[in-house]
Structure 1
Amino acid sequence: MADITRGGQFLVKETPCENIFTPEDFSEEQVMMRDAVKEFVDKEIWANKVRFEQKDYAFTEEVMRKAGEMGFLSVAVPAEYGGMGMGFVDTCLVCDYISGATGSFSTAFGAHTGIGTMPITLYGTDEQKKKYVPKLASGEWFGAYCLTEPGAGSDANSGKTKAELTADGKHYKITGQKMWISNAGFCSLFIVFARIEDDKNITGFIVENDPNNGISLGEEEHKLGIRSSSTRQVFFNETLVPVENMLAGRGEGFKIAMNALNVGRIKLAAACLDAQRRLANNAVGYANERFQFNVPIASFGAIRQKLANMATSAFAGESATYRAAFDIQNRIAIRESEGASHQEAELKGVEEFAIECSILKVAVSEDAQNCADEGIQVYGGMGFSEDTPMESAWRDARIARIYEGTNEINRMLSVGMLIKKAMKGHVDLITPAMKVQEELMGIPSFDTPDYSELFSEEKELIGKLKKAFLMVAGAAVQKYGPDLEKHQQLLMAASDMLIEIYMAESTVLRVEKMAKKNGADSCKEQIAMAQLYLYNAVDTVYTKGKEGIISFAEGDEQRMMLMGLRRFTKYTNMPNVVALRETIAEKLIAANGYCF
């Protein structure tokens, strides 16, 4: 097994391109699975897109059952509980390709296979898993997840729903209100979080959906997007739950919720990928067919720029998501080889890469929204019409920046978790941060570097971007210590630096691996995408780094850090970004769609 970095170590450890997994590395079995999912989506979902937009909740349930019959709901479920027991990469692959056609189905699928099923497979007793998981894996039953309350959103542990032990000690009576519950209209069981007495932390329960047991539903919510994803309030009125249906231990609900979110974040990133590919496909096709001034609008530079940017963000999202998924899969395998149960290995494997999961959730959800926005613009007035796929895609994309933890929360989490890992000694940030300080005090080299190898300058530049982050984050930690978490705008600026470093590096490593295998001439458009993404990343790192430095440093310290930031974001050979976009757009237009 290749030597893999621990979570967050990408910042301080150089990763050889051979060590990362890319979509070009899909096995024959994975390609067959991908093609089967795509065929299902085209036939059952894309062809019926209008029905989803018309709030046909029964149809969403019907297609979910068909997905169950195809085995798509059981990919991540261990074989002993009726699942396919496939690896983490396979799980992300199915989540990726099944989510491209409509956010309504994507949300129903994600809520069921993720937060509806996964808490039982990861935290349930063997009896609980045998009783419930096979039904969930087959699509006989559907699951929903009841965490959010009117007064408890991002502060998930502040829920007021109560669980009271009955006098005979055989049941808990659950009373409370939950809101924004996906799949509520057709689910068979809920994962419910409630507080026992005055416990500090909430507790998880498996609650079967029985309207005769004090469970009632609000009306379907009227939402901006994901229109046929069933979303309702759920009310519990002294609902009796057997004590053996407690999930994990008393007071462990908050831990369950947080770990479920880690998995949900990388899966959400995966669920935004095929949406971008399909948006790019539609935009390119329309640009080739739409004539203005006697020529297709695909011949106009302003349109070509948009097409190139849409494809580049999709390609970068793929690169980073599958890189992290493979790292998680490897970490799970390492844990299992050391004697851990699959249950424990998966929990710890995902938790190890929680930083990357948050990075991906933010980056890919925002790229999906931008992709849909540019898609509307390519279509012009037609893009605003419900008759085209862009309008619903734009509305559906908006929720991705909110659920699984808002992007603001995830930005702050990514930096906060990195600092905690450093404090625990899991990632050595102090040594490289001190070297950066020494470098700032030293005289810069004026030697002309040798950039004869492909990506030699790009990889050196990524190394310098890492120094820029270490400089800003290191100085901020020194200044504020544990109070850093109160400086949210500074944390978000640092997070944007971190995000761009991971995404840019993942893209460059993917293309370097392709070029080493097949030659640079075979992937000149992918090289252009990697260079274009990095160019934009450098701009973001400089802008956000400057914002961060100015917020806490003054006088000579500020001047020195700003000089360092300029040094760390400086190209020796600035790429011609217009030419890069033209290279990418030319390939897209000739192929009449996303072809990478």
Structure 2
Amino acid sequence: MIQTSGKVVGGSFIIEDTDPSQIVTPEDFTEEQRMFAETTREFVEGEVLPQDEHIEKLDYELTVKLMRKAGELGLLSSDVPEEFGGLGLDKVSSTIINESLAKASSFALSIGAHVGIGTLPIVFFGTPEQKRKYLPELATGEKIAAYCLTEPTSGSDALGAKTTAKLSDDGEHYILNGSKLYITNAGFADLFIVYAKVDGKDFTAFIVEKGLEGFTLGPEEKKMGIKGSSTRPLFFEDVKVPVENLLGEVGKGHLIAFNILNIGRFKLGAGCVGAAKEAIELSSSYANKRTQFNTPISKFPLIGKKLAEMNISTYVMESMIYRTAGLIDDILKDIDHSSPDAGVHSAKGISEYALECSINKVFASEGLDFVADEGVQIHGGYGFIQEYKIERIYRDSRINRIFEGTNEINRLLIPGTLLKKAMKGELPLLQKAQALQGELMSIMSGLPLDGTLEQESHLIGMAKKLFLFVGGLAVQKYGTALEKEQEVLSSLADLMIQVYAAESALLRTQKMIAKSGEAKAENAVQMTQVYVHEAFGRMEDIAKEALAYMESGDTLRTQLSVLKKLTKSSPVNTVAIKRAIAARVISAEKYVV
């Protein structure tokens, strides 16, 4: 892999191969990490789920009480450094906690917003004084945090914010005017990370405490899902925020906003993994109990096919999330959070994997939607009834494709970020694309690939060449105008997403085989086979659509002949493989690796 100062360069997966030993997988969890998962599960099952009905009715007092109980167990402090009252855990551990909270539904979102986008701006970008003042209480849940970026006229266009901040004549306060919309935890938060434009032009972040004069809340929004979480608008009318509550530098709010969103995207993916696992558990258990034609519906192959595909999607999702957690861990582990320049190093570290965070967000949110939808279908009419939790998982999952930047925005960011890294000389992307042009005519189908996952490894290698082929043509044709060709950018994003997803599953399975042997990894091998082959077929279709848009006539026919050479493969019997995977899921009545 391409590395800088011993760290893997973000986006390099698309042009380089990765050694399985370099990635973090769930099979690598330590005993301590597994204990965090167990502690979280016990808290959710013992404290949260018995109160589930009350939480869904939006009981502020109960939610805050439970959040403080979570704080006593250390579940709010994993990302807070030890010197500021937290546990200072690695990112893999905090990801495990995040995933394990998912069964708590709306309550998991309240915690997620607090520990993630609410607390992390201060962890990464606060001054030592701000960290000492706020982080100990945020770590225990004594104070609850919220993140305030969206406005009535600016969502994805965050820098189009209208809220303003003006330094008072005496230099003691910034005076805020404006409003924010869709703020999670607003109803009971004590601290608000608020973005405003100083003098109407310099995008800047502030720590705003509840109770300041002129700071008011609007009514609760009536939502499709996540009904147990608070979502309210905020209004600022000449609100005096002390100058010491400026977060970061004036005009540098975008560094905080966008990097915190990157972490938020990644953490959102972890929650999707947890929800998908619960959907599989509910659906497989229901399928074994529900009979039609005197037969449990789990015995019908089309129901089994759904369960197998749900399990495969979750395996890939999980593989991606923990691979990315390992990357983020590695790049942030040496930051001294007590130093004055901690924010600079934090921004640089987080932004390195912005592209991977967007990939995780898009794949996991759409993967959970697929799993939830199939779960409802397996439940039949009962899946449409609120008494069955799969109905809520289905409703709650929909927001994930909008949260933390819509999936459309993230699809534009993925190739855009890659090209920026290439233009800065951080990745030899264009050189690789040019070199491919010389290889295309000499690419041969090669020898038969009969070893375990050999063909899948070959297909992922060809998928990377496919991306370089289509991406190279796009850059050549459009140049700097490529940023206006959103359909092409979306196609390039989808190719990258499929490569990262397929490769993450492959590397995890290869690592599993190396550690435990092929026999113990049989289910993982089969899931990887199915996913890689089906993903490769999707990539061929994506490439065809992009090529047909960019060219026509003889030029298009030439490019399609190259595409045919790049996408040559031997099919596998996915029907039989999915039946084998389904049998294991049905027997276990849960997600199985």
TM-score (structure 2 length as normaliser) = 0.96
Q: How does 1:73-152 map to 2 (within 5 A)?
A: 73-102=76-105, 104-152=106-154
CA contact (8 A) 1:332 1:348 kept: no
Q: Give the counterpart letter for 1:565 in structure 2.
A: L
In the alignment, residue 177 of structure 1 is paired with which amino acid?
S
Q: 2:53 aligns with which of 50, 53, 61?
A: 50
Q: Indicate if the aligned counterparts of 1:466 and 1:501 stay in contact, CA closer than 8 A.
A: yes
Residue 64 of structure 2 aligns with an amino acid whose one-letter code is E
Residue 31, structure 1, aligned to residue 34, structure 2:
yes
SS at 2:519's partner residue? helix
SS at match of 1:520: coil
The farther-off stretch of 230-239 and 34-43 is 34-43
Cα distance, 1:447 vs. partner?
4.1
Output the amino acid matched with 1:127. Answer: E
Once the two structures are TM-superposed, the CA of residue 425 in structure 1 deviates from its matched residue by 1.2
Alpha-carbon distance in 1 for matches of 2:30, 2:112: 24
Q: CA deviation at 1:341?
A: 6.5
The residue identity in structure 2 corresponding to 1:305 is K
* Pair 342,36 (structure 1): closer, same or farther in 2 beyond 3 Å: farther
Note the C-alpha offset of 1:5.
2.8
Matches within 5 A, 1:303-314: 303-314=303-314
AA at the equivalent of 2:325: A
Say whether 1:474 aligns with 2:472: yes
Partner residue, 2:240: 240
AA of the residue aligned to 2:270? A
Aligned twin of 2:352:
352
> What residue number does 1:155 align with?
157
Which of the numbers 165, 181, 184 marks the counterpart of 2:183?
181
1:61 offset after TM fit, Å? 2.2
> 1:217-232 residue pairs with structure 2 within 5 A?
217-232=217-232
User: CA shift at 1:100, angstroms?
Assistant: 2.9
**Partner AA of 1:108 in structure 2:** S
Please say if 1:296 is aligned against 2:299: no
Helix, strand or coil for the counterpart of 1:213? coil
Backbone CA RMSD of aligned residues:
1.8
Q: Aligned runs of 1:377-388 on 2, under 5 Å?
A: 377-388=377-388
- 1:554 aligned residue (552, 555, 562): 552
Aligned mates of 1:44, 1:107 — CA distance in 2: 16
How has the CA–CA distance of structure 1 residues 100 and 435 changed in structure 2, closer, same or farther, with 3 Å as cutoff?
Answer: farther
Indicate if the aligned counterparts of 1:454 and 1:512 stay in contact, CA closer than 8 A.
no
Matched, 1:580 2:581: no
- In structure 2, the CA distance between the partners of 1:500 and 1:447, relative to structure 1 (3 Å rule), is closer
Q: Unmatched 5+ residue regions in structure 2?
A: none
The secondary structure found in structure 1 opposite 2:133 is: helix
User: Do the aligned partners of 1:100 and 1:272 also contact (CA within 8 Å) in 2?
Assistant: no
1:364 equivalenced with 2:364 (yes/no) = yes
CA shift, 1:345, in A, is: 4.2
Identity %: 44
Q: Secondary structure at the match of 2:205?
A: strand
Distance in 1 between residues matched to 2:588 and 2:44, nearest whole Å? 22
| Larger CA deviation: 417-426 vs 546-555 | 546-555
Partners of 1:343 and 1:195 in 2: CA distance: 20
Residue 196 of structure 2 aligns with which residue?
194
In structure 1, which of residues 461, 464, 484 is the aligned counterpart of residue 462 of structure 2? 464
Q: CA deviation at 1:487?
A: 0.7
Distance 2:563 2:229 in 1: 46
Name the CA shift for 1:20/1:4 in 2 (closer, same or farther; >3 Å).
farther
Report the counterpart of residue 12 of structure 2 in structure 1. Answer: 9
Distance 1:340 1:469 in 2: 41
**Shift in CA distance, 400/436, structure 1 to aligned 2, threshold 3 Å:** same
What is the CA–CA distance in structure 1 between the aligned matches of 2:310 and 2:492, rounded to whole Å? 25
CA contact (8 A) 2:165 2:200 kept: no
Is this contact kept in 2: 1:100–1:276, CA < 8 A? no
Amino acid at match of 2:543: G
Q: CA shift at 1:446, angstroms?
A: 5.0
What is the alpha-carbon distance in structure 2 between the residues aligned to residue 333 and residue 561 of structure 1? 45
| Contact 2:445–2:568 (Cα < 8 Å) also in 1 | no
Structure 1: give runs of 5+ residues left out of the alignment: none
Letter in 1 for 2:135: V
Q: Distance in 1 between matches of 2:510 and 2:137?
A: 44
Q: Relative to 1, partners in 2 of residues 1:21 and 1:480: Cα closer, same or farther, differing over 3 Å? A: same
Is this contact kept in 2: 1:266–1:360, CA < 8 A? yes
CA distance in 1, matches of 2:119, 2:200: 28
CA contact (8 A) 1:335 1:349 kept: no
The alignment's TM-score, normalised by the length of structure 1, stands at 0.96
